[in-house]
Copies of this chain bind each other. A is one copy, B any other.
Amino acid sequence: MGADSPTSSVPTIAADHPGVAELFAVLAYGEISAFYRLADDARMAPTLQGKVALASMAAAEMSHFEILQKALTDRGVETYAAMAPFVRAFDAYHASTDPSTWLESLVKAYVGDGIAADFYREIAHSLDPAVGEIVREVLAEVGHSEFVVQEVRAAVAVSKTEKDRLMLWGRRLLGEAITQAQFVLAQREDLTDLVMNATGSLNGVAALFDNMQAKHAERMAVLGLV
């Protein structure tokens, strides 16, 4: 991964950096939070196939949660206490991006997950290998997203109005995600220190958000939202 990264591929952040537990904890609560949003949003599914697609994505989040819980426990960190500081930001993100249609749910499932994955992947290459391995494991694609891609592409191919709406929706998802990520970074010193080390500088953090924006545009294009 390091080869095409803006920073060196040599890990620069020790396994015992105090931000590592915070990183695991923010990832862990993100998984739980995503589980319940996907399960909720599945209510709008017009078909059983749609319900199953979202349920499978939700289930994958929980298996990732379990990996993180184990990683925290192995470090002697109590998962629930460690997650507590991050509840507000995720709840705020989900409350401000509550889908009102099935297509909005699908775009959120696909794009929202991707935005988060980009953020973590950008810093993973600077982590101690064992830590980076866990981060990459819980970000692995779970292979239920083809359904989303097909449904969204089909819908926007026949409706310019739908396409315009979903393009705005995607932009809003990115904006809210970055707002909440910045909120978290402003509050958690150890995590911020980790991100700063991973990206090299404050400019590096800005570059990270720029990269996320570029990747977001690519994902929107996959959905036919370009």
Footprint of B on A, CB under 8 Å?
32, 35-36, 39-40, 42, 48-49, 51-52, 55-56, 58-63, 65-66, 80, 83, 87
Contact = CB atoms under 8 A, between A and B. Distances in A.
Given A48-B83, A62-B55, A42 B32 contact: no
A29 to B, nearest CB: 9
A56 B61 CA distance: 10
B36 A65 contact: no
Given A36-B39, A39-B36, A39-B39, A66 B62 contact: no
Total identical chains: 2
Contacts of A59: 35, 58-63
Contacts of A56: 62, 65-66
Given A36-B55, A56-B62, A56-B66, 18 more contacts: A32-B51, A32-B52, A32-B55, A36-B39, A36-B42, A48-B80, A48-B83, A49-B80, A52-B65, A55-B62, A55-B65, A56-B65, A58-B58, A58-B62, A59-B59, A59-B60, A59-B62, A63-B63
A48 B36 contact: no
Contacts of A49: 80
Contacts of A63: 59, 63
